[in-house]
A and B are shown apart, each in its own frame.
Chain A
Amino acid sequence: MASGVKPRVKAPKKASAGEVVTIKTLISHKMESGQRKDGSGNVIPRSIINRFTCEFNGESVIDIVLAPAISTNPYFEFDAIIPEAGDLKFTWYDDDGDVYEDTKTVAVG
């Protein structure tokens, strides 16, 4: 388990049916690129989040593959269509096999 990993999501709690909403996500993660060397010249092994997905009620909004060139604390901003009330599910996949999840419920009305 990578230490200090904390997902944060900003999404609206309410929308009208069919509305396009903007979602912002950030996860604290050191995103070690695998390019750096430590004091004795050994390559520091790569440790990044390699994939991020957002789904609404099981249907895909966005699916992102990340390479080491993504900054520390990966940030994403994108738009989603909210056709009905339901849950936005966010999933981050770590190189070390860990999976971090967050869910935001959106009400329609």
Chain B
Amino acid sequence: LALLPLRAMAQADPNAEMVGTPDDFLAGATAGTGDLTLTAPEIAENGNTVPISVDAPGAVEIRVYALGNPTPGVASFRFGPLAGAQAASTRLRLAGTQDVQAIAKMADGSYVTAMKTVKVTIGGCGG
């Protein structure tokens, strides 16, 4: 899938960072607010495993970013024709207290975004 923007990385191979940054994903478009729910804890005792969920009915893709991590990309979820809901849950690493952002690309090409601040008492990502 060659349509994802690649990002130059100092110590990893060129394919390493496929999720990129919010700017890569938006490519100049503006994300509004809308039917996107980002669920994350207000306080995470352990930044190494923070449960999050995203839910955006009608989305074709949702990307998640941890804006305070060394590399902000977390994951990209692309929903196929047999997805039962445009929703998914996973666990992520947060280097410290920061904003987690989700951006959904809707079927009509528009973007919606949602942001949550997560307070972390023990960092992930090395440290």
Contact = CB atoms under 8 A, between A and B. Distances in A.
28 contacts: A21-B84, A22-B84, A34-B11, A36-B125, A45-B11, A46-B11, A56-B82, A60-B78, A60-B80, A60-B82, A61-B79, A61-B82, A62-B78, A62-B79, A62-B88, A63-B80, A64-B75, A65-B18, A66-B75, A67-B17, A67-B74, A69-B124, A70-B92, A71-B92, A72-B49, A78-B85, A80-B83, A83-B82
Contacts of A35: 70, 125-126
A36 B126 contact: yes
Interface in B78-122: 78-85, 87-94
Interface of A: 20-22, 33-37, 43, 45-46, 50, 55-56, 59-72, 74-81, 83
Interface of B: 4, 11-12, 15-19, 48-50, 53, 66, 69-85, 87-94, 124-126
